[in-house]
A and B are shown apart, each in its own frame.
Chain A
Amino acid sequence: MRRIITAAAVAFVLAYPTVHAIEVKAQVAPALPNSRIEIAYVQPTNRSYQPIYDRLKKRQVLEELQRFLTPLRLSRKLSMKVDQCGATTSPYKSQGPVTICYELIDQIEKIAANVDASLRSSAIAGAFIMVVLHEVSHAVFEIQQVPVWGRMEDAADRLAALVMLQFDEVLALRTIFGTTIFFNASDKTWTGSDFADVSSPEEQRYYNYLCIAYGGAPITFQGLVTPDQNGQQTLPRHRAARCASEYRQVLKAFNLRIMPFVDPNSLVTVRSMQWLLPTDIK
Chain B
Amino acid sequence: MVAPDRHKIIRAYAARSFMKQIRSALRLRKDVMKLHLRFAAFALACAAVSDQPTFAQTSSELNNSLITFSYSPPKSAKYLPMMDRLKSFQILEQLSQFLSPLRLPHRLALEVRECGFVNAQFVTWPGADPAWRIELCYEFIQAIERVGPKQGEQSEFTYEDVVVGSVVGVLLHEGGHAVFNMLNVPVFGREEDAADEMSTFIALQFSKDVALTIVRGYSYLAKKWFAFGAPLYSDEHGTGLQRYYNTLCVAYGADPVLFKDFVDKGDLPKHRAANCASEYEQIKLAFKETVLPFVDQNLMKKVQAKEWLKLTPTQVTALRQQQQKQQQTFSFAACNLSSISGVYLALTVRDVSDPQKWQVHGWFPLPDEGCNYIGTFYGDKLFYFAFSGNNVWSAPDTDRTASKQCVDTVHAFDEAAGDKCKPGQVAVNFRRWVIGPAETGFTLKLHD
Residues of A that sit less than 8 Å from B by CB: 1, 141, 145-152, 154-155, 158-159, 190, 192-193, 195-198, 200-201, 203-204, 206-208, 235-236, 238-239, 241-242, 246, 249-250, 252-253, 256-257
Contact = CB atoms under 8 A, between A and B. Distances in A.
Contacts of B190: 150-151, 154, 158, 208
B285 A145 contact: yes
A154 B234 contact: no
A250 B242 contact: no
Contacts of A192: 241
Interface string B262-277: 0000001101100100
A253 B272 contact: no
Nearest to B283: A149
Interface residues of B, number: 41
Given A193-B269, A195-B239, A198-B275, A149 B188 contact: yes
Nearest to A239: B234
9 A-B pairs with the lowest CB-CB distances in the bound complex, closest first: A150-B189, A253-B186, A195-B241, A149-B194, A155-B188, A147-B286, A203-B233, A147-B289, A155-B189
B contact patch SS: helix
A159 B235 contact: no
12 contacts: A152-B189, A154-B190, A158-B190, A195-B244, A195-B245, A201-B233, A204-B238, A235-B234, A250-B187, A252-B186, A253-B188, A257-B186
Given A150-B188, A192-B241, A204-B238, 11 more contacts: A149-B189, A149-B194, A149-B197, A150-B187, A150-B189, A196-B249, A196-B272, A197-B272, A238-B235, A242-B236, A257-B188
B414 interface: no
Contacts of B236: 239, 242, 246
B239 A150 contact: no
Contacts of A152: 189, 279, 282
A contact patch SS: helix
A24 B234 CA distance: 38
Contacts of A246: 191, 236
B286 A151 contact: no
A256 B187 CA distance: 10
Given A203-B233, A252-B186, A198 B194 contact: no
A207 B244 CA distance: 21
A154 B233 contact: no
B231 interface: yes
B223 to A, nearest CB: 10
A241 B4 CA distance: 12
Contacts of B194: 149-150
Contacts of B238: 151, 200, 204
Nearest to B286: A147
Interface string B205-248: 00000000000000000000000000101111011011011100
Nearest to B276: A198
B344 interface: no
Contact of A148 (B180, B188, B249, B272): B188
Contacts of B185: 149
A147 B249 CA distance: 18
B184 interface: yes
B290 interface: yes
B189 A154 contact: yes
Nearest to A250: B188
B129 interface: no
B193 interface: yes
Contacts of B269: 193, 196
Nearest to B290: A147
A237 to B, nearest CB: 10
A149 B180 contact: yes
A239 B189 contact: no
A208 B233 CA distance: 9
